[in-house]
Structure 1
Amino acid sequence: MRRVSKENNMAERKNVEELTYKEASTELELIIRSLESGDMELEESLESYTRGVELLKSLRGRLADAEQKVSVLLQDVDGTDQLVPGEPASDADALNL
């Protein structure tokens, strides 16, 4: 028996890169909850885990891009174009099961 919402099923049909950041993070959260429930069959669990890894990689990449853009925006006010390095994204959000 599959306990996944309609929104999650619709999002799964999209390529990960076509999802907005919010859609991807919401889908990842739903996948984690489903995996933690233990109600899925093995094959479905593996498929969900694989999708979760893809989502996590995409979200991390998007955060890294955003951090780079913020660094570029933090230029020195006198126009010398000095970049201020941002903090690297934490990898503490790893999908551990």
Structure 2
Amino acid sequence: MADVKPVDELTYKEASQELERIIRSLESGDMELEESLESYSRGVELLKSLRSRLADAEQKVSVLLADVDGTDTLVPAEAADTSDTLSF
């Protein structure tokens, strides 16, 4: 994990794919302890970023919804479940 892009420079898709790779690597059990800890930390950082981006997108969708008669109506979207933890 020497040359990794900062999380805020990754697209949502890139961050999601990297998180999936990290999870698969951690589940394989083939990494040394130090590498596992580094990967886990990166995974937590990616997960937080992904959740934040999803929450922002949900808010934007809520703002864009309009009533049938054309009057702007803020319809709250159901918030993403952020209660789960990253576990391997």
Q: TM-score scaled by structure 1?
A: 0.82
1:37-58 deviation digits (Å, cap 9, x = unpaired): 0000000000000000000000
Superposed, 1:75-86 pairs within 5 Å as 75-86=66-77
- Residues in 2 aligned to 1:93 and 1:31: alpha-carbon distance in whole angstroms: 17
Is residue 2:59 matched to residue 1:68?
yes
- Residues in 2 aligned to 1:54 and 1:28: alpha-carbon distance in whole angstroms: 9
Ranges in structure 2 where 5+ consecutive residues have no aligned partner: none
- Residues in 1 aligned to 2:16 and 2:84: alpha-carbon distance in whole angstroms: 12
Ranges in structure 1 where 5+ consecutive residues have no aligned partner: 1-8
- Residues in 2 aligned to 1:26 and 1:92: alpha-carbon distance in whole angstroms: 21
TM-superposed CA distance for 1:93, in Å, is 5.1
1:25-78 deviation digits (Å, cap 9, x = unpaired): 000000000000000000000000000000000000000000000001102243
Equivalence for 1:89:
80
TM-superposed CA distance for 1:94, in Å, is 2.8
- The one-letter code matched in structure 2 to 1:32 is I
Superposed, 1:39-50 pairs within 5 Å as 39-50=30-41
Q: TM-score scaled by structure 2?
A: 0.89
Aligned residues: 88
